[in-house]
Copies of this chain bind each other. A is one copy, B any other.
Amino acid sequence: MGSTWGNTIKISIFGESHGTGIGVVIDGFPSGVAYDEAFVLREMERRAPGRNKQSTARKEPDRPEIQSGIYNGKTTGTPICAVIRNTNQRSNDYAELAAQPRPGHADYTGMLRYDSCNDPRGGGHFSGRLTAPLVFAGALCKLWLKEQGVTVGSHIQSIAQIQDMPFDDVEVTAEQLDTLRNAEYPVNNPRALEAMLAAIEEAREEQDSVGGVIECAAVGLPAGIGSPMLDSVESRLSSILFGVPAVKGVEFGAGFAFAALRGSHANDPFYEENGVVKTETNNNGGILGGITSGMPLIVRACIKPTPSIGMVQDTLNIRTGKVEPLSIHGRHDPCIVTRAAPVVEAACAVALADLLKEAKGYHA
């Protein structure tokens, strides 16, 4: 419920964009996992704003202060808490928004949901900044998954209408995913990247924004994880992915393209190689009947264009009851897709770690 998610590994995210601190409690995390701080900070850095021209100019350190759950360099198995201080708020940027709920944002629905008591500054608990603790949790889960032979990675599938080369859903490797993780922009095709960056720049100049799609893969997952009927691997992954602000679509394998396929092409025939059962194609994205098949897991999430744009929008002033022009000042990304890759990965890593721990028990 709310900002708490998971079954055998449960995360509870807290914080508001301009409050004292944000963070996460991770309950049920396996004990004895080596805490690789450099890796975790690198993951945080991938998501952080201000890294490059495409993202907002805010520069916050986003350094997680570990309160508990790590001892002698290893996870204890009892709850891990990390707090990230908020240090660089400019709340006055948001002053006028109270009267004019921003289109595409949660200002209006949040007000109704919380009887106007929620913190509106910078989007409060709805802020994209709240994905920082999710990335922290995801980084820890990746450390454990790595010990279990599982690698999670992603690339930008598209920005605006420019498509990257998709993953080879049969052959994608851990090495490829690791390489993408270390790239400034996780894009397979350099020319697509150029065009994407140009599209972002164009949107910025017009004080507008663009959206895109992240494609995420997990390799090394054992077959046989997940449960029918209502607790499929797809159910778990989509449930947390749709918790990421701005995600409005989630698909697995061929996804919506299945609608145009015939069964004879959509089905993935089985074969055996060195005693391992595989499928020749992987339209099902590594999941059959809600259970992992051992093939690479492929999931895509659509990220809507940043709703905060400088361009004037005509929208309701709830004090006057009239539609009036609104221009959102402040520092906003013309495209959050470049920063969304580590967030989508983190959500997937948390969900897969939760599923794997459920399958393997306490001492996996």
Contacts and interface: CB of A to CB of B under 8 A. Distances in A.
A94 to B, nearest CB: 13
A186 interface: no
A169 interface: no
Contact of A4 (B230, B266, B302): B230
A255 B298 CA distance: 18
A8 B358 contact: yes
A252 to B, nearest CB: 5
Contacts of A104: 263, 266-268, 284, 288
Contacts of A259: 158-161, 211-213, 302-303
Contacts of A283: 304
Contacts of A43: none
Interface string A243-286: 10101111111111011111110111111100001010001110
B130 A229 contact: yes
Interface residues of A, number: 148
A31 interface: yes
Contacts of A266: 104, 211, 304-305, 307
Nearest to A228: B126
A12 B15 contact: no
Given A4-B10, A258-B304, A263-B104, A31 B249 contact: no
User: This chain: how many copies in the complex?
Assistant: 4
Given A25-B25, A81-B15, A71 B117 contact: yes
Given A208-B262, A267-B309, A302 B256 contact: yes
Given A79-B125, A126-B228, A210-B263, 18 more contacts: A3-B27, A7-B7, A15-B79, A19-B68, A19-B71, A31-B115, A71-B117, A74-B117, A77-B118, A108-B277, A112-B291, A211-B266, A238-B239, A248-B255, A249-B258, A256-B302, A272-B316, A284-B304
Which 4 interchain pairs have the tightest Cβ spacing?
Answer: A106-B289, A361-B361, A112-B224, A249-B251
Interface of A: 1-5, 7-8, 10-16, 19-23, 25, 27-28, 31-32, 65-69, 71-72, 74-81, 83, 101, 103-106, 108-110, 112-115, 117-119, 124-126, 130, 158-161, 203, 208-213, 223-232, 234-236, 238-243, 245, 247-256, 258-264, 266-272, 277, 279, 283-285, 288-293, 302-309, 311, 313-316, 318, 321, 323, 358-364
